[in-house]
Structure 1
Amino acid sequence: MPSITTWTRLEPRARAGDMRPALEARIHDPLWLLARQWQFGEYLADDAGSPVWIRVRARSDGITAYRPGPLPSAGTPAAPVEAYSPGVPLEALAEREAVPSADLRAAGESGRHLLRLLDAAGLGEVAAAVLRTWKLPPPGAPDDSPATAPEQSAAVRRYLAVMGGRAPDGDLAAEALRPLLPTDEVPPDLRLTAARTAAALPVLRTWLAWHDARYLAAPAGDDAWQPARMEYHFSVGADTGGPLDGTAPGTEVTLVAPEYLGGRLDWSDFVATGPTGLAPEPARAEVAATVLPAPAAFPGMPARRYWEFEDARVSLGAVETAPDDLARMLLAEYATVYSNDWYVVPLDLDAGTLTTVTSVVVGDTFGSALGGPTLMPPPGGGAGDAHWSLFRLSTASGGRHPAFLLPPATAQGLEGEPLEEVLLARDEGANQAWAVEHTVTDAVGAPLDRTRAATPPEEPDPFARGALGYRLMSSVPDHWIPLLPVEVRPGAVRLRRGRLTRPLPDGGREPVPPLGRLLDPGGTLDLYHEEVPREGAVVTRAWQYARGADGRGYLWVGRRKRTGRGESSSGLRFDTLHS
């Protein structure tokens, strides 16, 4: 029987033995393509070649001095200068604060560690003497917790019910041992014999070194936090301009961070100024590198190919500018017209250095036909760019410093839950500014939500019958701390932290102080008026952890200031009637 099945092979069939015509991809209208090239300006010649290699030489000076607080002025003592090593994150050094000894949980943990070390060394009697001398108080002690927070008192009582009398207070032990151990002595309250003292000294020194190295703590009164600004203020110094071998000093350059808000430090937080007495040690190095430049790239930049789609997340055509919005128009013009004229030159620098570029030599595609490589003019020395700068520090006089700062900041760190949170807000209804304590820490270091523990405001009884009553002022919650305008000197107004009062059973009233450290309950807090803007501000305290360039881990308590959530209303009213 005959078959009707046929087969067709799906494969190209060359009509000639030469494959070159098929691979040439000929254009049937070359005049159209030439016109499009002319329309896009591809025939414009700038007599400029593309860079092939770039050789950079620079001088790098390390930061070697640190001083907290503002710069010294006439009649104002300056904070002591500390030697600085770039291995330590500069944020940790600037943000560190003295951790309060009232944290009973941390004190109990360090005390238990001391007992474990003594027991492991076979010094059980010394451990018993340590526990007897510095034991944690039992629950119900007068100083266990402020009476203004019932939940805080309950949390402290629960902790002391378990640890009271069973663990020593490590902070008290460290305070008593620190001045005596260098002289091979122990506190007389331990009542140790000479033999037991000699056996316990190595263990006590090991424990004290561990206790003091748990976190970074600033000396009393030498922290960089400025309560009147709710910001950090500090300065670092570098020795520049001397010989590369460091045999002779050069010129001192002080880098001041006047408004550091906390978080991550960057070069833009600093302002360069002249010598201020930091006297940094010279730490100079020469930087020389020959690199291959790469075209600058950014998301949404025009694609190099005709039929390639740009990044849809960036729409340069949707940029809205006003006639006076020069910065935005300049950015749009750079992205659409001049972005392909810029190149990136990578240069490896050490963190914590102030680098000055001394020479830049460019070798382009023209080669030696037009005189060889080109020595570029210094930044700001070319035609028309005397006032142009990028990544250059501002100076105190309004100019630009020629060096580039690479601060020794943390690349990525860990931040704990806020130990304290204070909201600085305006209340237009009451014509008042407030500092609202949302979160504080109790005596065992745990966060306490003051919005739940606050005493509710007094309100009139809605079921009371009788004549109308007059109320001079309504009540506000306890955690709303008033900020009252005070003229500290003629023409200068500050916002001074006030205090509320609450009734007592005997008919009197007692003041309600702030419970956190941010509002400085033990002193007078005068905030600058501009630090409480209309949008408000949120200030927090939290544990921070980061790893430095030396590989070590650093733990400290830092503060951070962020933008607030707008205006707030306390419900404060004056001159009201109620029945």
Structure 2
Amino acid sequence: MPGCEPVRVWSRLELRTRQVELDRVLQARTADPLWMLTRQWQFGEFQGEDTGSAVLATLARRTGTVTGLDIDGTPRPYRPELPLDAQVEQLPPHFPPAARAHAGRCFLDLLAGHLTADGLPSATAAAARVLAGLFPIEAPALDPQAPGQAVRVARRLAASTAQRVAQALAGRSFDGVALAVAGVAPAALRPAVPSGGEAALDRAVRDHAAWWRGLFLDPGTAGEAWDDARLGYDFGATVSHGDGERIRLRGGDGEPGWHAFDVEATGTGAPGGTGTDVTSTLPSPAQFAGMPSSRWWQLEDSAVSLGRIRADAGDLTKLLATEFALLYGNDWLIIGDTQAAGTMVEVEAVVITDTFGRRSIVRSASDSAGTDWSRWDLFSVAPARERGAGALAQHLWTPPVAPPPLDGPVREETVLLRDEGSNTVWAVESRVPDGLGGGTDGARVARHVRATLDELAGRAAAPAGPDDPGVRWRYRLGTTVPENWIPFVPVHVPGGNREVMLQRASMPRFFPPGSPRVRPITGILRPGLAEDDEQHAPYYINEEEVSRAGLVIRGGMRRARWLDGRTVVWHARRRATGRGEGDSGLAFDRVEPVGDG
């Protein structure tokens, strides 16, 4: 209703048709076709090319599949039933006494079930006693007075919980993991089962071994891909096409995704893969939320206000998005296609069929970048320039890796850092195995071991000052560092002039007298060390691996689900960037004030 002048207000506006039927109204006819023609001329629509819209896309591609692996320079067969990262990353697993005893208990349950199924008594006590002698769980006795055993005793006392668990299981249970690895029933075990139960025993052993292999990967080749000098994994894969072309890829550090591979070489070999296949699909326009509509008479929503975009000269992303939305949005199409894991696909041709029935070949804007740094390429595997490998055609490589796996608790962690004060690289064991399948604080264990050694040696606390009150200064030959700090010193590479490597060294122990040198605990730093800490080979790390930012190596269990639904568990190591340099406090020939100085 109109209100008072000069203000008019309408509470409601309604449209009313003059006809009963709505067919003519819905046609949205215009009474001024000249205005339409003028607007089309104004926007240059009369100068447009006679092109149609894309209605069909035909894609021809050449597919190659993974046919082999290269681990430690040795060709290995590729197992498609397992993810690539599990086959490459697996390390020798460590099972604590509690896990081994649990595996033994599971075998006894299997044996009792098979005996019952055969109508025999499910008596397993005799079998358990025999197995305890064949596959024992050992808990070495602690003898602090034994020569050279003080350090081992101190370490076991630092992990007192694990030592008590091992002592409780020793003689009362058996190592079920060792039985599963053996996979056959020992001859001494057959008299321990009821008469006629040999077949049930064999089935129980086979089922137990299969159950254990289903939980953890076979450790037969575990650890061979880990490069101790590079502190990372070094592996390769061979991709074979249907026409006999073979492409050797070399993997690097980090997650084994497409970006971790380089083209090592190309050649010919046995035919493999699926060759060239042709598929057709319906293309769809490339769009994003709030993008201007490609139709002239269609209204856009208010999700994005293109008029309020403020982009500076350095805002490359905003400039590209704006240019795509306003100028080239109609020129891009999305052609959906599927690619199996573990394949390399090279697109040979793309043919677009428009609404007029004409076919156009869409060629690549540029070849694969290869070693030409003036071009930019995405998702292509770069060639290894030091090996003289050539660039591949436009391709997409999808390694057969599992989705992001679940990482268990960190069992061991080592931080490598540079110490400019002592001109040394230190490997700090920030987390060490606790003997129960997990990890514990390495600094706490180091303090506990040091205190235990001092207690075993009967060493008294250092006096606050000298007996002579007139002495005001004290000379110290050298300081020390915690036992979880392992030094790496630079040494010359044999045959090189300036190239150096980092060699593992050791800090001395002065108490108790005659104690062995400090040795690392984590498996990351123990190459070349025997179980009794005797070194039978030196250990070197490439100097360029430890930058000024440092390096962190973590070890633990990983769990992933593969394509067929199978759960895979393996022991692996991960590397990450550190937090910069450190200061060990190691110094020599120091004069220090005594008391107030």
For normalisation by structure 2, the TM-score amounts to 0.76
Q: Given the alignment, which residue of 371, 383, 387 partners 1:395?
A: 383
Task: Return the alpha-carbon distance in structure 2 between the equivalents of residues 153 and 318 of structure 1.
Answer: 60
Q: Given the alignment, which residue of 265, 278, 285 partners 1:288?
A: 278
Structure 1 pair 294–430 and aligned structure 2 pair: CA distance change class (3 A): farther
Task: Return the alpha-carbon distance in structure 2 between the equivalents of residues 395 and 473 of structure 1.
Answer: 51
Q: Corresponding residue for 2:586?
A: 572
- RMSD, aligned CA: 4.3
Task: Return the alpha-carbon distance in structure 2 between the equivalents of residues 495 and 299 of structure 1.
Answer: 54
Structure 1 pair 302–530 and aligned structure 2 pair: CA distance change class (3 A): farther
Q: Corresponding residue for 2:331?
A: 341
Structure 1 pair 494–509 and aligned structure 2 pair: CA distance change class (3 A): same
Indicate if the aligned counterparts of 2:501 and 2:540 stay in contact, CA closer than 8 A: yes
Task: Return the alpha-carbon distance in structure 2 between the equivalents of residues 230 and 51 of structure 1.
Answer: 51
Q: Corresponding residue for 1:554?
A: 568
Alpha-carbon distance, 1:526 to partner: 1.2
Q: Corresponding residue for 1:411?
A: 403
Q: Corresponding residue for 2:510?
A: 503
Indicate if the aligned counterparts of 2:553 and 2:574 stay in contact, CA closer than 8 A: yes
Alpha-carbon distance, 1:260 to partner: 2.5
Deviations 1:430-472 (A, max 9, x none): 3322111111213332212112222289997655553522223
Task: Return the alpha-carbon distance in structure 1 between the equivalents of residues 340 and 486 of structure 2.
Answer: 46
Task: Return the alpha-carbon distance in structure 1 between the equivalents of residues 392 and 310 of structure 2.
Answer: 33
- Determine if the alignment matches structure 1 residue 108 to structure 2 residue 122: no
Structure 1 pair 524–49 and aligned structure 2 pair: CA distance change class (3 A): farther
Task: Return the alpha-carbon distance in structure 1 between the equivalents of residues 153 and 309 of structure 2.
Answer: 59
- Determine if the alignment matches structure 1 residue 79 to structure 2 residue 74: yes
Task: Return the alpha-carbon distance in structure 1 between the equivalents of residues 198 and 349 of structure 2.
Answer: 64
Task: Return the alpha-carbon distance in structure 1 between the equivalents of residues 52 and 463 of structure 2.
Answer: 86
- Determine if the alignment matches structure 1 residue 117 to structure 2 residue 105: no
Q: Corresponding residue for 2:237?
A: 236
Judge which range, 542-551 or 449-458, deviates more: 449-458
Indicate if the aligned counterparts of 2:52 and 2:354 stay in contact, CA closer than 8 A: yes
Q: Give the letter for the 1:470 counterpart.
A: Y
**What does 1:17-166 align with in structure 2 at a 5 Å threshold?**
17=18, 50-69=53-72, 78-85=73-80, 87-100=81-94, 103-120=96-113, 121=115, 122-124=122-124, 125-138=126-139, 140=141, 146-149=152-155, 152-166=158-172
Deviations 1:393-441 (A, max 9, x none): 2223364212321111222321111111111112233332211111121
> What SS does the aligned partner of 1:500 have?
coil
Alpha-carbon distance, 1:560 to partner: 0.9
Alpha-carbon distance, 1:330 to partner: 7.9
**What does 1:319-398 align with in structure 2 at a 5 Å threshold?**
320=314, 338=328, 341-365=331-355, 367-368=356-357, 372-377=358-363, 380=366, 389-396=377-384, 397=388
Q: Corresponding residue for 2:521?
A: 515
Q: Corresponding residue for 1:486?
A: 491
Indicate if the aligned counterparts of 1:131 and 1:166 stay in contact, CA closer than 8 A: yes
Deviations 1:487-515 (A, max 9, x none): 12223211112222333234x44311111
Task: Return the alpha-carbon distance in structure 2 between the equivalents of residues 188 and 94 of structure 1.
Answer: 38
**What does 1:432-447 align with in structure 2 at a 5 Å threshold?**
432-447=424-439
Indicate if the aligned counterparts of 1:302 and 1:336 stay in contact, CA closer than 8 A: yes
Indicate if the aligned counterparts of 1:215 and 1:555 stay in contact, CA closer than 8 A: yes
Structure 1 pair 471–348 and aligned structure 2 pair: CA distance change class (3 A): same
Q: Give the letter for the 2:226 counterpart.
A: W
Gaps of 5+ in 2: 1-8, 116-121, 144-148, 452-460, 530-536
Q: Give the letter for the 2:246 counterpart.
A: E
Task: Return the alpha-carbon distance in structure 2 between the equivalents of residues 131 and 316 of structure 1.
Answer: 76
> What SS does the aligned partner of 2:547 have?
coil
Q: Given the alignment, which residue of 250, 253, 264 partners 1:256?
A: 250
Indicate if the aligned counterparts of 1:138 and 1:165 stay in contact, CA closer than 8 A: no
Structure 1 pair 93–480 and aligned structure 2 pair: CA distance change class (3 A): same
**Percentage of pairs with the same residue:** 27
Q: Give the letter for the 1:487 counterpart.
A: H
Indicate if the aligned counterparts of 1:58 and 1:286 stay in contact, CA closer than 8 A: yes
Indicate if the aligned counterparts of 2:241 and 2:275 stay in contact, CA closer than 8 A: no
Task: Return the alpha-carbon distance in structure 1 between the equivalents of residues 508 and 312 of structure 2.
Answer: 56
Structure 1 pair 337–543 and aligned structure 2 pair: CA distance change class (3 A): farther
Indicate if the aligned counterparts of 2:257 and 2:401 stay in contact, CA closer than 8 A: yes
Gaps of 5+ in 1: 1-7, 70-77, 243-249
Structure 1 pair 424–61 and aligned structure 2 pair: CA distance change class (3 A): same
Alpha-carbon distance, 1:473 to partner: 2.5
For normalisation by structure 1, the TM-score amounts to 0.78
Alpha-carbon distance, 1:379 to partner: 6.5
Indicate if the aligned counterparts of 1:418 and 1:447 stay in contact, CA closer than 8 A: yes
Alpha-carbon distance, 1:376 to partner: 2.6
> What SS does the aligned partner of 2:209 have?
helix
Alpha-carbon distance, 1:48 to partner: 6.1
Indicate if the aligned counterparts of 1:468 and 1:577 stay in contact, CA closer than 8 A: yes
> What SS does the aligned partner of 1:471 have?
strand
Q: Give the letter for the 1:515 counterpart.
A: I
Task: Return the alpha-carbon distance in structure 1 between the equivalents of residues 549 and 484 of structure 2.
Answer: 20
Q: Corresponding residue for 2:118?
A: none
Q: Corresponding residue for 1:186?
A: 186
Structure 1 pair 91–337 and aligned structure 2 pair: CA distance change class (3 A): farther
Structure 1 pair 50–168 and aligned structure 2 pair: CA distance change class (3 A): same
Indicate if the aligned counterparts of 1:110 and 1:169 stay in contact, CA closer than 8 A: yes
Q: Give the letter for the 1:186 counterpart.
A: P
Which of the pair has more CA radius of gyration?
2
Task: Return the alpha-carbon distance in structure 2 between the equivalents of residues 311 and 552 of structure 1.
Answer: 48
Task: Return the alpha-carbon distance in structure 2 between the equivalents of residues 389 and 514 of structure 1.
Answer: 45
Q: Give the letter for the 2:483 counterpart.
A: D
Alpha-carbon distance, 1:169 to partner: 1.4
> What SS does the aligned partner of 1:223 have?
coil
Deviations 1:268-296 (A, max 9, x none): 2112233689x777232654332222333
> What SS does the aligned partner of 2:523 have?
coil
Alpha-carbon distance, 1:539 to partner: 1.1
Q: Give the letter for the 2:238 counterpart.
A: G
Q: Corresponding residue for 1:5?
A: none
Q: Corresponding residue for 1:247?
A: none
Q: Give the letter for the 1:574 counterpart.
A: F
Q: How many residues align?
A: 528
Q: Give the letter for the 1:393 counterpart.
A: V
Alpha-carbon distance, 1:225 to partner: 0.9
Task: Return the alpha-carbon distance in structure 2 between the equivalents of residues 90 and 421 of structure 1.
Answer: 24
Deviations 1:102-154 (A, max 9, x none): x2222222122122222332252223311243232357467999445356430
Q: Give the letter for the 1:524 counterpart.
A: P
Q: Give the letter for the 1:468 counterpart.
A: W
Task: Return the alpha-carbon distance in structure 2 between the equivalents of residues 331 and 488 of structure 1.
Answer: 52
Judge which range, 279-288 or 496-505, deviates more: 279-288
> What SS does the aligned partner of 1:149 have?
helix
Q: Corresponding residue for 1:72?
A: none
